[in-house]
Every structure is written in C-alpha cells, then in structure tokens.
A and B are shown apart, each in its own frame.
Chain A
C-alpha cells in the first residue's frame, strides 16, 4: 500500500507534509496539483511530518493538497541509450521534453513544463542482444549476462546491482533485437525464487554502486592533453581534482577542452547551475566534432547532464549525483569514465538554500554544517576499481568551484581542497594577461604522477618560482637594478610560461598535446632553460628569447606527423646550442 499525505506548509521550493504510514529519508513523492504531479524528495522527517524539496515551482500548491509517496529513493535508469543524451538533473531527456511540450501548444515547446517527467531511456529502440553467460552459471550483482552494441562500446547487461547473494542463471534469451524493457534472463536465488532481469535497472543516485572486488590506488596519469595539467599538475585515472577560479578566468573553456581531448572512454558532463548558453555550445558542437581516438562523433562517448542556473534548484542538487551514478554504471563495464562537474559551488548553494528553508543552524557563510561531509562523500565516489571479472574500470571526477569574489578562503573551495588529489587554481592575474589556461603555476598542486619524470618537473618549477621573484623585484628596482644572471632567469621562466604553460585552446594543433608530444617538447624546453648562455647584454638575451619563443610557438602549431615538425625541432635545438657557452 502506498503512503499518502497532505501538505501543511509551503515555502519556496520546500513543502511540509503530514503523512500516514511509513516514509524513508530521501524517498520520492509527488504533490498532486490538478492533473500535474510535482516530484519531491524527503529531506527531513519529524514525527508524522516530513519536509520535502520540490523539483519544480511550488506555485499554486495549497495546504491540504495530496502527496503520494513512491516507496523509492531518487533513482535513475541504467541501461543502453544513456550516451549521446542530454538530460536534465533528474534524467529527463531535454529534446524529448521539448517534443512532448510542443503537443500542448506551439509556444510551450520552448519552455520546460512543470510536472512533465519522461523516461530516461528510449523504450522503442531495438538493441542487438548477445548472451554471454551460460545457464547454470553462478552469478552475483554486477556480473555480465550479455552485451549490446551501444555506439562504439560493448555495453554489458549485468545482474542488477541491488541484488544481494548468489544467483543461478536459469535461462537466458538467445541473440536478437531487444528493447530495454524486454526480459533477457531469469536468475534464481538461494531460496529458489526467480528474478526476471531486463536490460535496464534503476539505482538510487545518492548511493554509490559497490559491485566490485576492491578499490585500487590511482597511480596512472590521466592524459588530458593540457600541458600544464599533465606535466605540472596531473590528474590520475580514478583520481579527483578541482578547478577553482573567479568568473572569466576560463573554467568552462578548460572543462570543455578536457571533455574533448581527455584520454578516457566516456565523459559525463554535468552543467550544474551554470549558463545555458555554454551548454548550447557543447550541445551544438559536440555532434560535429570527431573524437581523435575513434574517428567517430564526440557525442558517442558523451552524456550531458544539464541543469542550468534558471532550472529548479532541487534538481540542480540532484544533477551531480545523477552524473556520478551514470559514470559508476559505465565503470562497471571496465571503462574509464571522466565526470566533469561545472560548477560544484552551485550545487553547494543549492544545499545552502534548502538548509536555510529547513531553518537549520548555519555554518560559515550560511552553508550547512554538513557541507564538508557531502563534498567529501561526492568526491569519494571517484576511484579505480577491480571488477568481478578481473577487468579494471574507473571514475575520475573534476569539479570546478566558483568562489565568491574569487577568494579561495571560502567554505566550498576549502572543503573541496581537503578531499581532492589535484588543485588547479585559476588566477585572475593570469587571465587578465590572457595567459591561458590560467592555472596558477605557483599555487596549484597535485598528488598524482606526471607524464614526465617528477624530478625534472620540480626543477622547472623551481625556475618558475625564481623567475617570479625576480619579476617582483624588477617592479621595484627596474631592469637597470637587476643583474644579468637574474634577468636571464626571469626571461627563462617567462619563456617556459609562454611556450609550454600557455596553450591555445582555439588552435587546431595546439589545443591538444598528447603525452608523447609533451615529452618531446619538454626535452627542448628543458634544454633552453638549463643552458648557460654566452650573452653579456640584457638586450641580447631578451632578443634571443623573444625569437626563440616565436619559433617555438610556430613549432607548437605544426602537426606531429608533419615533416616540418622534426625540422623545426632541430632548428630550435640548434639555436639554443649556438648560443650556449660550451
């Protein structure tokens, strides 16, 4: 019997409901408004009253209106058909929403309609089912029954994650065209009870999927093709990192570049409370772009969760969980998945809004006291895991943070820094100077192994620090008061910045530097940095580095497989050697 209740309080997107029967924390219910059903989630229970956040506008709700509870936590559908989709925070496909809304009137197709929820997976689509498991096999949650082809991937159909204990495969459907709702296998539990398995399953978004053998350490570098990141502040497969930065520092461009070029199997992009315009850009561009690794459309490896700033706040809170749940699902197939959340601050603000409505005692800047533990729990869902069939899958999480006033001392940035393995701090000074990506090379850090030997990287960083000190000093004493040796150090650090740290995201070649190319480039950069030069005049050193820099940037724009690449490299090395004191 389903539990029902009646509304006693409405305030903003929060309602309080007096219920009869039993309810669970985070259970989903629907407030009935005429022929509309507004989805809501229980966030607090006190006696026979529960507070719920509504995933839609609460306008027109009245005290006494009925609420029906579903007996299920907020969940998403997992199965073939997730990739290439653009969902809102609750897994409603946006294009289908527009189509469905268009049935009401011509103008209404432009708007998100209240109380309109659609299935996350297409019901009519036929998939090529290939059984793998044999009847009689002993199986547990997460083990493979068969596969379907989803774009470029062999999408595994697994024993539902919610099932506990060992099951025996009773029967399995032979190869053929199937929809997600078709039963493909029947399994029997220890007590002899049969369970029909379909091609899709539901999973609550706020619960991590744990159908694996063990978690492994994130020791492998995840190549993003962004030089500053891979060489200086690397990300690991199964690791976590954050990108805090003031507005206009290039967070979103950096996330978009990563979504395009990162060497992973699947990218789940969560646009959480950000500008709709930017999502539209991704939406329209990705299908046109080819994935350099597969030659297919980039969209085939992408799923976008899009809950932009004007969409309901409660589903914004849900959207990051939806994203990471979909990622965990593909991880279970032995794939490497990257979750890009832009921006986690908006998610934190959604929590703050709700907490305020619940009249909880506020923490710093009115964020709830549980802010830190929620952020930590979210990032903990990243990881590299060994699956039951011995293969390895991973979820890597990269979140942007939008600190108020660009000040990193605020609660969200600080709570995030405690739990991530990499910090890519974007600086206003760098973006003002058009030095992109604006990752601050002095403040940022990473605990993961870089693509280049870390001792060599450390040496280059020391030089950056020294160059920065000289630069600061020069502002006071002028060029005249700086020694030639110091001045050279300064120019070297500027050179490293200009040719290696800075990268043109809008250039076809320079936008992406694979690991192999980074190694070749770093060899030459290193040579330029750690050569003793013969110059005796500051002007001569400046001229030398200006020209070297220009030649190097030209080299950055030559394709690796172009014959000119080696020629240009040889010319650079020659220039450096000719100027050196041998």
Chain B
C-alpha cells in the first residue's frame, strides 16, 4: 500500500545525504534510490516542510540530481527466520556469501526499549573455556561487556574463539569496518569448528559505504531479539564499535550537527546505550548477551568512545599484549554467578589475583635494582607460571580444570600458609604431592 510516486529531482547532495522535495513522506521511512551509481536503499532522517532528507545506504557517490527516488512506505526491516543461520549479510541485509536473498517474514529494526519491569536478575554463566574470563571475570547471560584494546591486539581472534566455544544457542556476529581478510578469517574459523551453522553474520567491511556500518548493530540486535523472543540464548559479538561511532561522527558532521567532544555528536552516549541496552534476559523467554570490541585510539581509555561505553556496559575486559589484563578488567555481574560454581571459586580467584599483584610489585622493585628476598623469588616464579599457564589466550580449559590448575600453580610455588586462603578450603583442595 505504498505510495508509488517516483521523484526525479534531488536538490542537494552532501556526503551520503540527499535532499529532495516530496510529499506525504514519513519520518524514518525507507526509499529506493536509482541512479547511475546503481540502486540503493535510503532512510528518511529529516523532514522540513516539503524538503525530505534521506541517507543513502550505499553512499551518494555517483548519485545524480535526476536520480529516481521512490518511497516505500515502511521503515527499515530485516528478514528473519531459521534460514538465516550459517549465512552472511551486509549491513543493509543483502547476502554477502553468494547465497540467495531471503524473503521470509520481515521484522523492523531499532524497536523500543525493553520494559525494565520485565527483566530478570541475571544468574546464568556463559562458559567460554577461557580461564581469564570464566575464572576471574565470568561472563553472565544478558551481560553487555566491551573488550577495550589498542588497534593491533588480537581481539578478533578472541571473539572468534568465544564464538566457537561459548555455551549459547545462536551467535550473531556484527562486523563494522572489518578488513576483508578478517571477515574471511572469521568465516573460516567458525566453519572449521562447526559453529557456523548456529551463526548469523552481518558484516560491513572497511570498503563498504559508511551508512551500512551504522546499520550493523541495529540489524544484528533486531535479529538477536527475535531469536531471544523464541526462547534462544543469543550471543551477539560486535567488532568494532569504535568504527560504528566514527561512522556516526562522519554522518553527524556531514549533517552539520554541532559536535560535542572530539567531533563526536552530542548523543553518542544515547546512541551507544540504545544498542547495548538490548542485552536482556527476558522474564519467560530467551536472552541476549553482548560482547563488543571497542578499540581505543592511542590506547586512551578517556577517549569519548571507550569512555561513554564504560558508563553503559557492565564492566570491561582490557586486552593488552595479547592477554586479558586481570587489573582493570571487570565483570560487574560475576558475583551473581560465581557463588554457585564451586565452593573454592571466589576465594581462589581473590588469592590468585592478590598474589599476582604482589608479583607485579616485585617486578617493579626488581627493575629498580632492589635486592630480591626469598619471598620475592617465590613471587617471581609464581607470576611466570601464572602468565604462562593461565593468562595466555590459547589456554582452553573448563572452569573446573582452571580451578584445579590454579591450586596446582599455588602448590608449585608456595606453602599453604603463604597464600592467605582459609585453611578450611586449602585443606580440601591443596594438591597432594
């Protein structure tokens, strides 16, 4: 029932934004733009009297002033169904893998927020078999957690591993500004491990139009929401949210919006929050858990993107030198689950970290040339073993094995009484030699 009237005259073009005169257009409506550059979808982002401003998903390059614009009478929708599994799409929902286009039931994107009264307290753990996560900062169903890393850190490898190993029903991968080979690597890794059959990928590569980058989180989360409403536990992996923010910045500047901080639009916080807040454990249905990479330009956590993200998410992982840093990394929800795993989980976690902190101090002292005591020697031994056997990202063991390993490392380096662990626990778990 859409108005099939076609408009032939574009009055202004700037960046990926076009303005034309049209009637009866609704805010947020989708339009089709046909020009020399090809056909692309576009979305209405401003109505001012008879002037309609649209954002062209494929960018405005090559779009001529006589391009045909047809308004479709509906907002952005994305096909949804089981047949999405194992497939890869672009940010605007076109197949990227050479497979057929989908015309199954379409669902709108960017739907309203979940009523807080219908959320439940998170209480289930997502097992990843990565000790630095499971043991020290457990990921919890419905959590939203960013991975803060400098460009060049192996964050995509980490995401791929989590995608392969995580205990979730469905994985949605949203790639923004990915290098093409990164996309291939994701696909091949998931394919090899067999996880691809429960994965849907929405990928925007660095060569694709900026607007599509902005759509990736919305599209990914809209699909995730549908799976969750069907009772599935969905894990959404987004990489990299800084590219998403940069795309927003680019568009905002083209639209001549007043920038607030380092060129980012004033609503950066709200924009990021409305995506992250899609993470939810529905009272009586499935769940969405979000793990998102946020690269920190200049390794600066006070940069607007990681800074705003930190205020929104429930903790953060710092990936530094290929390892998840135990200090600074925090899962705010871990208390909800690590009381129900194994009785030694919390105590051992605290003891291991405290000793590792002492090790760090000792390393500092050593580098300043202070004399090393017998205790310092023990700490040095411990720290090396801990970094090698526990922190290394290639370690792939269950939480229970990781706990046993923790006890073993302690027993190799210290006496029972030196660990500060209550004897009730250490008597039970200390390895018998």
Contact = CB atoms under 8 A, between A and B. Distances in A.
Interface of A: 7-12, 57-64, 86, 94-95, 97-98, 101, 107, 109-114, 246-248, 273, 275-277, 279-281, 283-284, 306, 308-311, 313, 346, 349-350, 352-353, 355-356, 359, 362, 365-367, 402, 404-407, 432, 478
Nearest to A361: B258
Interface of B: 24-29, 45-50, 75, 110-122, 142, 229, 257-261, 265-267, 269-270, 273-274, 276-278, 280, 282-283, 285, 301-304, 307-308, 310-312, 314-316, 327-328, 330, 333, 370
B49 A311 contact: no
A11 B257 CA distance: 12
Given A310-B113, A404-B308, 6 more contacts: A97-B115, A98-B115, A248-B316, A310-B114, A356-B265, A404-B261
Contact of B27 (A61, A111, A112, A310): A61
A273 B270 CA distance: 8
Nearest to B268: A349
A283 B116 contact: yes
A365 B260 contact: yes
Contacts of B276: 309-310
Given A310-B273, A356-B266, A59 B118 contact: no
A284 B113 CA distance: 19
A432 B301 CA distance: 14
Contacts of B270: 273, 309, 313, 349-350, 353
Contacts of B257: 356
B273 A273 contact: yes
B269 A346 contact: yes
A-B complex: 6 closest residue pairs judged by Cβ atoms? A405-B302, A309-B273, A310-B277, A59-B28, A366-B260, A247-B310
A280 B273 contact: no
Given A97-B117, A277-B333, A310 B274 contact: yes
Contacts of B280: 276
B267 A353 contact: yes
A172 to B, nearest CB: 38
A349 B142 CA distance: 26
A313 B115 contact: no
A247 B311 contact: yes
A387 to B, nearest CB: 35
A308 B277 contact: yes
A58 B315 CA distance: 32
Nearest to A277: B314
A276 B27 contact: no
B329 to A, nearest CB: 11
B325 to A, nearest CB: 12
Contacts of B121: 280-281, 284
B273 A11 contact: no
B151 to A, nearest CB: 20
Contacts of A308: 113, 116, 277
Contacts of A109: 115, 118
B267 A280 contact: no
A101 B110 CA distance: 18
Nearest to A246: B310
Nearest to A271: B116
A309 B333 CA distance: 18
Contact of A59 (B50, B75, B142, B304): B75
Contacts of A279: 116
A311 B114 CA distance: 9
Contacts of A57: 28, 112
Contacts of B24: 62, 64
Contacts of B266: 349, 352-353, 355-356, 366
Contact of A404 (B27, B285, B307, B315): B307
A112 B301 CA distance: 33
A343 B46 CA distance: 30
Nearest to A403: B307
Contacts of B261: 365-366, 404
A9 B302 contact: no
A276 B119 contact: yes
A78 to B, nearest CB: 22
B114 A111 contact: yes
A356 B308 CA distance: 19
B48 A8 contact: yes
B260 A98 contact: no
B117 A94 contact: yes
28 contacts: A9-B48, A11-B47, A60-B29, A61-B47, A62-B27, A63-B49, A63-B50, A111-B111, A111-B112, A111-B114, A111-B115, A112-B114, A247-B310, A273-B269, A273-B273, A276-B113, A276-B114, A280-B116, A310-B277, A310-B278, A311-B113, A356-B260, A356-B267, A365-B260, A366-B259, A402-B311, A404-B307, A407-B302
B49 A9 contact: yes
A299 B308 CA distance: 31
B310 A309 contact: no
B307 A309 contact: no
Contact of A283 (B117, B229, B310): B117
Contacts of B282: 110
Contacts of A273: 269-270, 273
Contact of A63 (B47, B122, B274, B301): B47
A113 B118 CA distance: 13
A110 B115 contact: yes
A58 B274 CA distance: 15
Given A59-B75, A356-B257, A404-B304, A110 B314 contact: no
Nearest to A251: B311
